Structure 1
Amino acid sequence: MEQGNYSVGLDIGTTKIVAIIGKKNEYGKIEILGIGKSKSLGVHRGVVNNITQTIKSIQQAVEQAETNSGLKIGSVVVGIAGQHIRSLQHSDYITRKDSEEVINEDDLDVLCNQVYKLIMLPGEEIIHVLPQEYKVDGQAEIREPIGMYGGRLEANFHVVVGQVSSIKNVGRCIKSAGLDLANITLEPLASSDAVLSHEEKEAGVALIDIGGGTTDLAIFKDGIIRHTAVIPFGGGVITEDIKEGCSIIEKQAESLKVRFGSAWPGENKDNEIVSIQGLRGREPKEITLKNLSKIIHARVVEIIEQVYVEIKNYGHDEQKKKLIAGIVLTGGGSQLKHLKQLVEYITGMDTRIGYPNEHLAGDSDEEVASPLYATAVGLLMNAIRNQERMTAINTNKISKGEEEPVMAGFEEESMMNPNKKERKSVFDRWSEKLKDFLDNAE
């Protein structure tokens, strides 16, 4: 695979698996070269519960993307989500040996590494440590402490925690499908890259990504991610409710939801009826659209209220933490009719639907610009950023006459130019650990 020319994002969702191949064009926009999707079998609420079926689904999506693009997929950036993901706030500090020397990246690394020593519940591991703001010798609200003098360096951290086994299972599926794992990223972060503007992140915004199995929340303020949460309900639960409430099969329930579903019961009249074909010669079933929207409304209200509790937990009611840009809805579930109005009614916050088209080249397929593909596009953006960083490191090494360029992948950090220290991101470190585990497990 000519890694320098294109990158691949792989979204392993509860209802679908999407492989998306793309590259940056001369205008800095993302050109989609190929897309493949398959029905996700073996994933429940964002967690792999059948390895064999998940591998098959990944292979189908990858083969379709390869056929569409005429390119070969080697390594992918994959997203993690699921009901096992949780987050917490933590404060920590270090006392520096020499306060006469300026604070450097090593000090920040020492402080970050200290957070990893937090004792988690059995089977859990810290997968993401996001510094919120720093404090130097009592001086608060410092965004970037590098270059400052000080003896005591403190920071508030947003810590994301996940089940080790769940993440290793995703890694195992990727490897068994014949792919290399280039990086792992949190899905709400990927979606936010695709649909949020820099101004929204500065002003304060809550991104709600309604998927098939889970609803992911990411809150940004002052350009920094402040809160993440995963609600273990999504569009699949709405379909399940329709199936039970109308006594029909799942396929019919999904079709009803997509074609006639509405989150606002008031708009449907009592005489609006849809007829569903009966099974094996049985009489057709007649379902009123008012009843359908009542079923959908009840579950959607429950999901939104749970998300709103998380927004309040972040502290949206405080003036300083107010989310001026309101809410952005994305994911397949955001396409439900009148959902925007219902969210505004329940939360009292400005709401818009997030489309990932801002970063895509003008000639991109309209289908890819749907909220359905927000996470996949975000993962592709992450893959392209990784690729650009690797290219820059390789170019730097070649220009200095060093023996050979660094290959893209996991060895990147250890082979870097020692004169120019680049900090490993949390996910780079996590990816290395996961790759070592998968290699040893063979």
Structure 2
Amino acid sequence: MDNHNISVGLDIGTTKIVAMIGRKNEYGKVEILGVGKSKSMGVHRGVVNNITQTIQSIQQAVQEAEAAASEKIEDVTVGIAGQHIRSLQHSDYITRANSDMVIDESDIDRLINQVHKLVMLPGEEIIHVLPQEFKIDGQAEIKEPIGMYGGRLEANFHVVVGQVSSIRNIGRCVKSSGLELEGITLEPLASANAVLSQEEKEAGVALIDIGGGTTDLAVFKDGIIRHTAVIPFGGNVITEDIKEGCSIIEKQAELLKIKFGSAWPGENKDNEIVSIPGLRGREPKEITLKNLSKIIHARVVEIIEQVYVEIKNYGHEEQKKKLIAGIVLTGGGSQLKHLKQLVEYITGMDTRIGYPNEHLAGDSDDDIASPLFATAVGLVMDGLKRQDRKKAEAFEEEIFNAAELEQSAELEQEVVVEQTVKERRSFLDKLTERVKEFLDNAE
């Protein structure tokens, strides 16, 4: 496989595992070459709880994607979510030794590394440190401090924390499936990249990704991620409620939800009835659609209210932090009938369903542009970005080497100075390396 042009996203979800192969076309859009999907057997609420079953599901999805794209998969970008993910706000500062020199990458790195020394709960590790805005010598709201003068550099950070064991378990499943871990991305961020426009991120928007096991939230304002949360409820809990409320088996409950389910009980007449075949010669069961939607409505309201609490925690009710673009719903759970209207009714915020066609090539299959695949598309995009970054670094290296051969020692020094001002590697790249290292040593 030509690794330089192709990226593979692996979405390890609670209900399904998706392997998606994509590449950039000449217009800079993402072209999906193949998709593989398998039932997720060993994952509960976004956390791996059976390694063997998860490996089998990953291999099945990967083989399907390889057959569809006629490509061999080697490296994958994996999404991480689950109920163990939490986020916090933190402020930190450094005092610079020489305030006569301009602030550069090394100062920001020093500040970010300081945040990584925060004491976490046992077994937890910082996944992301995302700077919000900077302050230099008391001057606030600075977006880009590089190149400015100042003695005290301060910043507010959005820190995302997760359990080390969960991250390592995902790494183990990927490696045991015969794949290399190219990168790890937080799933709400991947979904956001796939379905949100830059204008929405600037205006302020909350992305709600309703999966099978969890509901992920990512809040953006002024183009920067401000808040993330993972709520340990998703579409599976609704299916469970239908199963118990109507005394039917899970398979029938899932079909009922997809075919006849609605989040708004008022939509159904009292006399609308659906008949379900009984088990092994038993009498068929009759269920009124009104009752069905009452069961769904009760659970959906609970999920949305929990998400709304998180949006309020971010501070949406303050004028300055108002989310002008409202809410975008994505994920498999967002396909529930009348969900958009219910979300608007509970939160009073404008709502739309997010399809991952924002960055997809025009001739993409309609199925791929479904909210179901938002995370997978986002992971493919993330992998492509990572490759572009590596290409840029390799290109810089080539130029640097050529310049080194051609120029005198004096000029060499200048090139070395330029070389140090490279794009800062994201912490997730470093985390991926650490997970790889851990897995290599564990063998």
- TM-score band, normalised by the shorter chain? over 0.9
- Give 1:265 deviation, angstroms: 0.1
Residues 131 and 420 of structure 1, relative CA distance in 2, 3 Å threshold:
closer
- Give 1:136 deviation, angstroms: 0.3
Provide the C-alpha distance between the structure 1 equivalents of 2:217 and 2:209, rounded to a whole number of angstroms: 6
- Give 1:395 deviation, angstroms: 2.8
- Give 1:420 deviation, angstroms: 4.9
The aligned residue for residue 423 of structure 2 is: 422
Q: Percent identity?
A: 80
SS of aligned partner of 1:113? helix
The aligned residue for residue 408 of structure 2 is: none
Q: Please give the per-residue CA displacement for 1:119-160, whole angstroms capped at 9, x wherever unaligned.
A: 000100111100000000000000011111111000000000
Residues 419 and 95 of structure 1, relative CA distance in 2, 3 Å threshold:
closer
Q: Please give the per-residue CA displacement for 1:150-208, whole angstroms capped at 9, x wherever unaligned.
A: 11000000000000000100000000000000000000000000000000000000000
SS of aligned partner of 1:21? strand
The aligned residue for residue 365 of structure 2 is: 365
- Give 1:5 deviation, angstroms: 2.3
- Is the aligned partner of 1:251 residue 2:251? yes
Provide the C-alpha distance between the structure 2 equivalents of 1:293 and 1:110, rounded to a whole number of angstroms: 54
The aligned residue for residue 410 of structure 1 is: none
Q: Please give the per-residue CA displacement for 1:305-327, whole angstroms capped at 9, x wherever unaligned.
A: 00000000000000000000000
The aligned residue for residue 4 of structure 2 is: 4
Q: Is the 8 A contact 2:92 2:155 kept in 1?
A: yes
Q: Is the 8 A contact 2:400 2:419 kept in 1?
A: no
Provide the C-alpha distance between the structure 2 equivalents of 1:221 and 1:80, rounded to a whole number of angstroms: 23
SS of aligned partner of 1:357? coil
- Give 1:16 deviation, angstroms: 0.3
The aligned residue for residue 102 of structure 2 is: 102
The aligned residue for residue 432 of structure 2 is: 431
- Is the aligned partner of 1:142 residue 2:162? no
Q: Please give the per-residue CA displacement for 1:62-97, whole angstroms capped at 9, x wherever unaligned.
A: 000001111000000000000000000000000000
Q: Please give the per-residue CA displacement for 1:368-412, whole angstroms capped at 9, x wherever unaligned.
A: 00000000000000011111112222233334447xxxxxxxxxx
SS of aligned partner of 1:73? coil
Q: Is the 8 A contact 2:127 2:161 kept in 1?
A: yes
Provide the C-alpha distance between the structure 2 equivalents of 1:227 and 1:88, rounded to a whole number of angstroms: 8
Report the AA paired with residue 423 of structure 1.
R
SS of aligned partner of 2:358? helix
SS of aligned partner of 1:72? coil
Provide the C-alpha distance between the structure 2 equivalents of 1:146 and 1:391, rounded to a whole number of angstroms: 24
Provide the C-alpha distance between the structure 1 equivalents of 2:240 and 2:148, rounded to a whole number of angstroms: 56
Provide the C-alpha distance between the structure 2 equivalents of 1:361 and 1:224, rounded to a whole number of angstroms: 26
The aligned residue for residue 82 of structure 2 is: 82
Q: Is the 8 A contact 2:354 2:371 kept in 1?
A: yes
Provide the C-alpha distance between the structure 2 equivalents of 1:40 and 1:4, rounded to a whole number of angstroms: 29
The 5-angstrom pairing of residues 155-174 of structure 1 reads 155-174=155-174
The 5-angstrom pairing of residues 30-109 of structure 1 reads 30-109=30-109
The 5-angstrom pairing of residues 204-283 of structure 1 reads 204-283=204-283
Provide the C-alpha distance between the structure 2 equivalents of 1:425 and 1:94, rounded to a whole number of angstroms: 20
Report the AA paired with residue 438 of structure 1.
L
SS of aligned partner of 1:358? coil
Provide the C-alpha distance between the structure 1 equivalents of 2:39 and 2:261, rounded to a whole number of angstroms: 22
With 55-64 and 393-402 compared, the bigger mean Cα shift is at 393-402
Number of equivalenced pairs: 429
Q: Please give the per-residue CA displacement for 1:28-54, whole angstroms capped at 9, x wherever unaligned.
A: 111111000000000000000000000
- Give 1:362 deviation, angstroms: 1.2
Report the AA paired with residue 73 of structure 2.
I
Structure 2 stretches lacking a partner, 5+ long:
403-417
Provide the C-alpha distance between the structure 2 equivalents of 1:165 and 1:399, rounded to a whole number of angstroms: 41
Q: Is the 8 A contact 2:105 2:421 kept in 1?
A: no
The aligned residue for residue 16 of structure 1 is: 16
Provide the C-alpha distance between the structure 1 equivalents of 2:69 and 2:223, rounded to a whole number of angstroms: 35
Report the AA paired with residue 129 of structure 1.
V
The aligned residue for residue 441 of structure 2 is: 440
Q: Is the 8 A contact 2:13 2:43 kept in 1?
A: yes
The aligned residue for residue 328 of structure 2 is: 328
Residues 141 and 419 of structure 1, relative CA distance in 2, 3 Å threshold:
closer
SS of aligned partner of 1:310? helix
Q: Is the 8 A contact 2:62 2:73 kept in 1?
A: yes
The aligned residue for residue 308 of structure 2 is: 308
Provide the C-alpha distance between the structure 1 equivalents of 2:172 and 2:117, rounded to a whole number of angstroms: 26
Provide the C-alpha distance between the structure 1 equivalents of 2:387 and 2:263, rounded to a whole number of angstroms: 41
SS of aligned partner of 1:149? coil
Q: Please give the per-residue CA displacement for 1:272-313, whole angstroms capped at 9, x wherever unaligned.
A: 000001001111000000000000000000000000000000
Report the AA paired with residue 135 of structure 1.
K
Q: Please give the per-residue CA displacement for 1:236-287, whole angstroms capped at 9, x wherever unaligned.
A: 0000000000000000000000000000000100100000010011110000
The aligned residue for residue 153 of structure 1 is: 153
Q: Is the 8 A contact 2:196 2:358 kept in 1?
A: no
